[in-house]
Amino acid sequence: MLLHKPPNKGSSSTEATLQSLYNRAARAFLHRDVAITFTLLSAAFALLPPPLTPSPDSLDVHRRKWDILRITLETTVFSSTPDLADLPQPLRETLLLPPQSFLSTLYARSLILFTPSSLYRKPSSAFLPHQVVITLVASSIKIDCPNIGREITEDWLSKRGQCDFVPSTGEPYHKVLELYCLHVLPRLGEWEYVKEFLSYENELSSDKRRELYLALEVQHAEALEYKKRETPKREIPPSPTPIPPLRSLSPASSSSSLSTTSTRTAVPASPRPKLTRQQSACSTSAVSDVTVTRSPRHRHNQSMPRGSSSTSGVYISRLPPVDHSLATVQPPTSLALIRSYFNHYFTTTRLAALSILFFLIPFLSLILRRRRRLETPADLVRRRLLEARGDSIVRRLWNELVRAILDTVRMGGGGLV
């Protein structure tokens, strides 16, 4: 038998602080002040660690109340269309998750909060109070992810009784089962499964079991009538039987709260409204993949008779001809880029001009300077006479060029160069 120490002054002070914070947080939540409620929640959970051992302690009641309030707040904001810019950063990050990830986060967080620290390696739903389970399942219904609510409920039902101090029989069991049979499974279209489940259930009294069965029959009849009224004129893929709007599950009540998700994979039934977060659908619909093959170009002018029985009823407009010039090309190599650059800037005309400028003129200048160094007195006289004749500059330049070439050839033949 485990002996429990009486609460000391520190724990009493913590309980008083938590109670004071809870009263303020509840008032802020009722006044829809999300920022203040979230701030008080953060302050409270800083004082609420998981239990040390699998036995009750003085903070059990506070863990349950604060966790229900936290799930209720986040689910209410998640299912509405708030201005995310006005929300605290941690809450904003949570609300940007897709529905299944959002619910999985809530569920995993609750498991860690109630699982004793000595068993932290594997958080278990056996330690979850039934009020928290109901809150999580109600949240999955509010966010249109009943698949996740089913997983949470079945996990709790399979592990209940493993922890002695967590009530899981009698009234707690009946409330969880009522939510499971009348709200979760009907939304999944599991009418026959619910009836079979109730026929094998032997823990409830016969009166309660019959009460659930009759309520289920009424719901099923209403769902069938609702389906007949709302059946669209055209055929649609088969889907679970819809059910009419049921009594709303108030997240603030002790028997039904907002949502959480299991750590298993589930998909929400409908997309989230307007919030800038990833959208995902819980219920999947069958979509047939249609392969469209273009006919040859000479067949494009052939019209398809609309009344033909061989046509599928889906008319595809003629596709425009494909521009093959837009085909993907390989990026040019470095050598091709260099060649293109030279072809663009170094044309034949430019090469000729550059050759004259940088090679021919310097070469002639070099020859003239060398020749002048080897000039004899007779050459100097001859040059002065030519200058005195008054020939044009072009002619004098031409004569000098011819003479320079001849002298160069002559000196080369004589072995002087």
> If pLDDT is split at 50, 70 and 90, which confidence band does 232 have?
low
Question: How far is the C-alpha of 258 from the C-alpha of 269, rounded, in Å?
Answer: 17
Query: Residue 266's pLDDT is what?
Result: 38
**Domain residues of the chain, as ranges?**
10-230, 344-413
Sign of the dihedral defined by the CA atoms of residues 208, 212, 213, 218, in that order: positive
How confident is the model over 113-145, as pLDDT tens digits?
A: 999 988 767 899 999 999 999 999 999 999 999
DSSP bridge pairs for 217: none
**Cβ–Cβ < 8 Å for 145, 268:** yes
How confident is the model over 243-274, as pLDDT tens digits?
A: 555 444 544 443 333 333 333 333 334 444 44
Is pLDDT of 277 > 70? no
Query: Residue 351's pLDDT is what?
Result: 77
> If pLDDT is split at 50, 70 and 90, which confidence band does 405 have?
confident
Query: Residue 377's pLDDT is what?
Result: 63
Place of tokens 């050459």: 379
CA angle 3, 4, 10 (to 5 degrees): 155
Determine what percent of the chain is predicted with pLDDT higher than 90: 37
How confident is the model over 324-371, as pLDDT tens digits?
A: 444 444 566 777 777 777 777 677 787 777 777 777 877 777 777 766
Least Cα distance to 255 among 173, 361, 332 occurs for 173
Question: How far is the C-alpha of 285 from the C-alpha of 413, rounded, in Å?
Answer: 100
How confident is the model over 282-324, as pLDDT tens digits?
A: 443 333 333 333 333 334 344 443 333 333 333 333 434 444 4
Residue-averaged pLDDT of the chain: 74
